[in-house]
Structures are given as structure tokens and as C-alpha cells.
Amino acid sequence: MRGWWPIFKRELLSYYVTPLAWVVMTSFLVLQGMHFYVLVAQLAAQGSQGADAGPVQSFFGGTVLLYLPLLFVCPVLTMRLFAEERRSGTIEALLTTPVHVLGVVLGKYLAVLVAYVVMWLPTVLYMALVARHGDVQWPVVGAGYLGMFAVGAGYLAVGTMTSALTRSQLAAAITSAMAIIGLFMLGIGAFILPDGPGRELCAYVSVWGQMNDFSRGIIDTRRLVLDATLVVVPLFITVRAVESWRAP
């Protein structure tokens, strides 16, 4: 793990001194703001009340608008992690210091994970807004955010992995977007396949299904195990990929 802390700090700093993070964050918040506004306006028009079917549950589990932007935001956040270091040659200076490869990978991954969490933070204001005008079950809000954190953590790990597999940021972003969209599409199978193991598998990996549960405050540990697997396996591959650059 040696070396992860300075790498984490540098990566996090580099997000906010380049325009990329601000552009991504602004676009994401504009989309989520519109999403929240449309939901609230619709619920107000229906006169719907109650926490279960209210704006919180609808925000986290009612539409794909919550996590659809993630299919593009996560690849953009992760594309530069290793690809840029390889393109600019700084990877040579980095890997010739006495640091563990695992420390390098974790430092970078944790930085992008924190940037992702920071991106979501302003949306807590939406919940505060709802709380001013009605009851909010904060544990349900917490479960919703936990769901988005777990899903995002997996997507970011996939993006970290693809960034280590190519020198081109664009290729890294496209590859991870394709992988994440593939995972997302797999979940659609839960709606179209007949009953059986195939459908069950698709339902298990479905982000839709996961967020439907979490938005109602149901924390299904099977889903968390899947998300943890989606973090650990890509990061393991990333470590091996970085180690392979100095293969004999």
C-alpha cells in the first residue's frame, strides 16, 4: 500500500485544477436538477403524498435518469487516471519511486471515488428541500445514496481498469462506457427474458432492480456483494496490468 496517500492527494487536486471535473460536475448537476424538478412537478400535479411513493423514492428508484448519466460520467472521470500518465511519460517517474503498485492503483481509484462522492453532495440539498415541505425518512435517503455509491464504485473501478489498458484517454473512455453500458443492458434482460436462471441472473445484475430496492430502504447484501465484486475484480486486473508494463 506504500505511496497511496500522496498519489491520492495529487489525483484529487488534479481533478479540480483542470476544467474537466468542473464541466462534468456542472453537467451532472444540471441533469440531476432537471430530473428532480420534473419529478417534484409531476408529483405535485398528481397530489401524491407519503414517503414511500414520494419524491425521495422516485428520485432514487423511479426513473433511469438518476443513473443514466453515470454511464458517461464515470468513464470521463476515470479515463485519464493511467492513460494520461502513460501518454505524458510521468508513469516512468511514478513507477521508479519506492511505492507499491497496489498503492498507486488504490491512490488513484480512491481519488476518483472521492471526486464522485463530491459530485453527488450537492444533491443532498434536494432532500433538504423536500424535508422543508414534508416528511423525509433519512434512512431511506441514506440507502438511496449507498446504492448510488456502490453502483458508481463499480463503474469507476471498470473505468480505472480500462484506463490502464490503453495509452489513449479517448479509447479508455469509450471502452469503459461500452463495458458499463453492457452491464446496464444486461439488467434489461430481467424485463424481457422468460422466467428462469437467465432472467434471475439479469435481475441480479440489474442496476434498475438494485436502485428500486435501495430507494425503498431495502439494503440487499447480495447486491452489495455484486458491487464489491465489480470493484475488486477490475482493480485486481488494473494492478496486474500495471505490473505487466515492466514484464521481462
What is the contact surface with other proteins in residues (CB under 8 A)?
2-3, 5-7, 9-10, 14, 17-18, 88-100, 246-248
Q: How far is the CB of 18 from other proteins (least distance, A)?
A: 6
Residue number with CB closer to other proteins (14 or 27): 14
Q: How far is the CB of 66 from other proteins (least distance, A)?
A: 32
Q: How far is the CB of 9 from other proteins (least distance, A)?
A: 8
Residue number with CB closer to other proteins (104 or 207): 104
Residue number with CB closer to other proteins (47 or 89): 89
Helices (H), the chain: 4-17, 19-46, 55-57, 70-78, 80-88, 90-95, 101-120, 124-133, 138-164, 169-192, 197-205, 207-214, 221-244
Residue number with CB closer to other proteins (26 or 88): 88
Q: How far is the CB of 85 from other proteins (least distance, A)?
A: 9
Nearest alpha carbon to residue 234 among 182, 174, 179: 179
Q: How far is the CB of 235 from other proteins (least distance, A)?
A: 20
Q: How far is the CB of 243 from other proteins (least distance, A)?
A: 9
Residue pair 107/81 in contact (Cβ under 8 Å)? The answer is no
Per-residue b/e over 117-142, b at no fewer than 16 CB within 10 Å?
eebbeebeebbeebeeeeebeeebbe
Q: Tell me how long the chain is.
A: 248
Nearest alpha carbon to residue 60 among 113, 117, 156, 127: 127
Residue number with CB closer to other proteins (98 or 196): 98
Nearest alpha carbon to residue 70 among 211, 236, 237: 211
Residue number with CB closer to other proteins (197 or 248): 248
